[in-house]
Chain A
Amino acid sequence: MRYWVAFQTLVIKEVLRFSRIWVQTVLPPAITTALYFIIFGTLIGEQIGEMDGYRYVDFIVPGLILMAVISNSYANVVSSFYQAKFQRNVEEMLVAPIPAWVMLLGYVVGGVARGVVVGILVTLVSMFFSDLTVHSYGITLGVFVLTSVLFSLAGFINAVYANSFDDISIIPTFVLTPLTYLGGVFYSIKLLPEFWQQVSLANPVLYMVNAFRYGLLGVSDIQVGVAIHIILGFIVVLFLFALVLLKRGVGIKS
C-alpha cells in the first residue's frame, strides 16, 4: 500500500509538471504534426500518389503519431529526471522509503502519460487531413503504449548519465531523430534497394512504426509478431539496466 501511494504521488507529480507547462510540452507536437500533414501529406503527397495501396497522407499518419509519442515520452523523462538531479530534488525520493523499481515505474508512467496525451492530440489533428481507420485496436493500443514505455526508459537512462543540459539533447538530436526519420515514417522500405532494406532492419524504430501502421492500416513491411517481440525485448533489457543504475546510484549518489 505504501509503495502504491508513493507510485501515485510520483505519477501525479510528473503529470502536473508537464501539464503546467503545456505550451512547451503538449502544444508544439500538435503544431509540428499539422505542418507535416500540410506539407508532406497535402502538398507533396498529392504528387507522390499511393503507397502500399493507401493515399500518401493516410500512409504517413501512423508514423507521425508514433514519432510524436516517441519524442515526447523520451523528452518527458529525460528532462524531468535530469532536472531532479540538477536541482537535487531527486534526494527527496532517495531519502524516502521508495524501492528503485517504484521510482523507475513512476517516471516511466509519467513519460507514458505525456506520450498518450500528445499521441491523442496528434491523432485528433490527423483526422483533419486523413480518413483514419483502425485495422486492429489491440495492436494499435499495444504498440502505442509499449513504444511509449520503451522510450521513457531510454530517456531515463540518458538522464542518469547526463552531466549537463547538452547531454540530454545530444541523444535526441543525433540518435533518436535520425532513427525515427529513417524508420519508415515517410516511406515503405520496399522502395529502398535490397542492401538498404537490410540496413533498415537494424533500426528498432522501423519495427515500432510498422507494427503501429499495421494496427491502423493493416499493412507492414515486417511481421507484426516479430516487431512486438523486439519491442518487448528492448523494454525488458532497458528496464533491468535502468534498475541496476538506479540501485547503484549511478549519477545520483557519490
Chain B
Amino acid sequence: MLALKIRNLEKTYRNGPHALRGIDLDVEEGDFFALLGPNGAGKSTTIGIVCSLVNKTAGTVEVFGHDLDLAPQEAKACIGYVPQEFNFNPFEPVAEIVINQGGYYGLPRSEARDRAEHCLRQLELWDKREEQARSLSGGMKRRLMIARALVHRPRLLILDEPTAGVDIEIRLSMWEFLRRINADGTTVILTTHYLEEAEHLCRNIAIINHGRIAERARMHEMLRRLHRQDLILDIAEPVERLPRIEGYELQRLERCLIEAKVASGQDLNGLFVGLAEAGIRVLSMRNKQNRLEQLFLDMVNSRRGPQG
C-alpha cells in the first residue's frame, strides 16, 4: 500500500513564483524516504501541502488511500509532523504540549497522558515534563517536537530538517530513534540538508529541483550512479613525488595527505598495491565528501548548466 501518493501537485504563491510545477510522488508503506533539494526547491511546500499547512493550487494528495480533499480528517489522522522551526507555545509545560496534541487527535485525556509519558520517556524528556518549553535546549526542543508528533502513533511520520542545529551526539541518537520507529512499522519521510543523514537512514530518495521531481530512485541505485569517488588518504611519511598508478588520479594536498580519484566501479586493490610498491604506507582513508552529497551537487550543477 502507498503511504503517500501525490499527483500533479502544483503551488503558485500569490504574487510569487511557481513553487511546485506538477509533482508526482509515491512513498511505499514502511519506507524510510528522503526528500532532498536545494533551498527553495519546493521540499517544504510539498510537505506543507501534505500536512495541510499550505493550500495547493492543483493536484491530489492521498495518505494511506485517504484523499486530502475528500477525507481530510482521515488523512490527517495518519500523519505526524515535525516541522523545521519550533512551533509550540514556549510558555506551556512540556507534558501539556504533548498531551494537548494527543487531544487534538481525539485521544481522551487519560490516554493522552499515558502516551505522552511514553513518548517523553523514549526521547529522554520525562524529567523536563513540568518545565516551560522555552527553558529547553535546542536539542531538547527538537525532541519535544518529535514526541508531540508521535503521541497519536501516526502511520506516517514527516520530518522537515529534524536535526538542524543539533550537535552530533544528539543527531546520532535521533537517527537511532528514527531507525527504531521505522523498524516498528512507521513510514518516515525526511527532508534534510545533511545528505549524510539521508544516506545513512533512507532506502529511497527523491530530489526536487525548481518545483519538479528531478530524480526518484532507490538509495543504493542512486549511489551507484556516481562517476567517481574522491578519497583522502593519510600517509605515514611525506613523499616528494607521487607515483603514477594507472586508472587512479593522485594529488598531494598536504605533506602527509593525498587525494585519490577513483572511477566508479573500479576496485581499490590496484591503488593500494601501487602505493605499497612506491613505499607509501597508508594510515587511514575517508571519502572527501559524502557520496550522496557529491551526487546531489553533480546533479544540481549539471541542471544549472555551465553558467551556474
Report A's interface with B, CB cutoff 8 A: 1-3, 5-6, 8-10, 12-13, 16, 83-84, 87-89, 91-99, 248-249, 253-254
CB contacts (< 8 Å) of A16 on chain B: these are 96
CB contacts (< 8 Å) of A96 on chain B: these are 76, 101, 104-105
CA distance A98 to B72 in the complex (A): 9
Distance of A7 from chain B, by nearest CB (Å): 9
Q: Does B13 contact A (CB under 8 A)?
A: yes
Among candidates B54, B74, B87, B148, residue contacting A97 with C-beta atoms closer than 8 Å: B74
CB contacts (< 8 Å) of B250 on chain A: these are none
Q: Does B248 contact A (CB under 8 A)?
A: no
CA distance A222 to B159 in the complex (A): 59
Q: Top 6 nearest A-B pairs by Cβ distance?
A: A9-B103, A2-B106, A96-B104, A97-B73, A88-B87, A97-B76
Contact B87 A92 (CB under 8 A): yes
CA distance A89 to B96 in the complex (A): 13
CB contacts (< 8 Å) of A87 on chain B: these are 87-90
Give the nearest-CB partner of A106 in chain B.
B104
| A95-B89 contact, Cβ under 8 Å, with A8-B103, A9-B103 | no
Q: For chains A and B in complex, what number of residue pairs have CB atoms within 8 angstroms?
A: 88
**Interface segment, one of B33-41, B45-53, B212-220:** B45-53
Give the nearest-CB partner of B73 in chain A.
A97
Distance of A86 from chain B, by nearest CB (Å): 10
Distance of A202 from chain B, by nearest CB (Å): 36
Contact A95 B52 (CB under 8 A): yes
Contact A253 B54 (CB under 8 A): yes
Q: Does B264 contact A (CB under 8 A)?
A: no
Contact B73 A253 (CB under 8 A): no
Interface of A is mostly: helix
**Interface segment, one of B78-86, B225-233, B291-299:** B78-86
Q: Does B166 contact A (CB under 8 A)?
A: no
Among candidates B55, B72, B107, residue contacting A5 with C-beta atoms closer than 8 Å: B107
Contact B13 A254 (CB under 8 A): yes
CB contacts (< 8 Å) of A89 on chain B: these are 87-89
Contact A91 B103 (CB under 8 A): no
Give the nearest-CB partner of A253 in chain B.
B55
Give the nearest-CB partner of A20 in chain B.
B91
CB contacts (< 8 Å) of A1 on chain B: these are 106
CB contacts (< 8 Å) of B81 on chain A: these are 91, 95
CA distance A12 to B148 in the complex (A): 18
CA distance A93 to B87 in the complex (A): 11
Among candidates B54, B89, B109, residue contacting A9 with C-beta atoms closer than 8 Å: B109
CA distance A89 to B148 in the complex (A): 12
CB contacts (< 8 Å) of A6 on chain B: these are 103-106
CB contacts (< 8 Å) of B85 on chain A: these are 88
CB contacts (< 8 Å) of A92 on chain B: these are 87-88, 97, 100-101, 104, 148
Q: Does B265 contact A (CB under 8 A)?
A: no
Contact A97 B72 (CB under 8 A): yes
Distance of A237 from chain B, by nearest CB (Å): 25
Contact B53 A9 (CB under 8 A): no
CB contacts (< 8 Å) of B270 on chain A: these are none
| A13-B100 contact, Cβ under 8 Å, with A5-B107, A87-B87, A87-B90 | yes
Distance of A252 from chain B, by nearest CB (Å): 9
Q: Does B108 contact A (CB under 8 A)?
A: yes
Residue among B90, B96, B97, B100 with max Cβ neighbours from chain A (10 Å):
B100
Give the nearest-CB partner of A93 in chain B.
B104
CA distance A99 to B73 in the complex (A): 7
